Amino acid sequence: MLSLIATRRLQAAIFALLAGNTIYYILAGRFSEALESVAWYALLILFLFEASRARQSLVPGALLLIHGLRLLATFAILTSAVLYVREQEWLDATNLLLWIAVVVLLEFEIQRPATVAAHRSAFALSAALLYAALGLLVLVWLARGKWMNAWDATLWLAAFGILEMDLLQPRSELRTKQ
């Protein structure tokens, strides 16, 4: 298992690379790709912030702003899904729908930990299948010569893998590592 410092450095590196991908899609991608990239990056930052202890010190107005931004980013992601279907970009649409399923699963893990604990194997299997399907899409993009899509998808898999490890680690373990 990575130390807390190594994990934080790896997270920072992946976030920087994802920011670079977002800038790339804004400058060189289709509108649907840029919209999706910005929205997912914003959601990731908001999700991490909400999952952190910093959330507890916020005033109610700030929480309302965070929820509003999450809603806006979610709307942008759904808009991207519609655009991908209209553009007949089936791999992008499939990728987007799989990521939506991953986020739903993560939200459930955070909001209903007792239910997840009671059905740990079912949740673990669901997560493994979703991540395997996303990994398969990376291979398909590579086979089609879509290097940027494969790179972006690999970074997102790494980001969520680290996020899952961090979220599933007991809080007591985190305190002893600090």
Q: How far apart are CA 40 and CA 86, in angstroms?
A: 20
Whether 32 and 80 have beta carbons less than 8 Å apart is answered as yes
Q: Domain of residue 44: give its range.
A: 4-177
What is the Cβ-side half-sphere exposure of residue 62, based on CA atoms within 13 angstroms? Answer: 9
C-alpha 121, offset from chain centre: 22
Q: What is the pLDDT of residue 96?
A: 96
Mean of the pLDDT values across residues 165-172?
Answer: 56
The predicted-structure confidence for 83-107, as pLDDT tens digits, reads as follows: 999 999 999 999 999 999 998 998 8
| DSSP 8-state symbol, 155 | H
User: 18 and 155 in contact (C-beta within 8 Å)?
Assistant: yes
**DSSP letter string, 3-17:** -HHHHHHHHHHHHHH
Domain count, the chain: 1
Convert the pLDDT of each residue in 97-154 to its tens digit: 999 999 899 888 878 989 999 999 999 999 999 999 999 999 999 999 999 999 999 9
- The backbone torsions φ and ψ at residue 49, rounded to the nearest 5 degrees and listed phi first, read -65, -45
**What confidence category does residue 8 fall into, taking pLDDT thresholds of 50, 70 and 90?**
confident
Q: What are 14-24's pLDDT values in tens digits?
A: 999 999 999 99
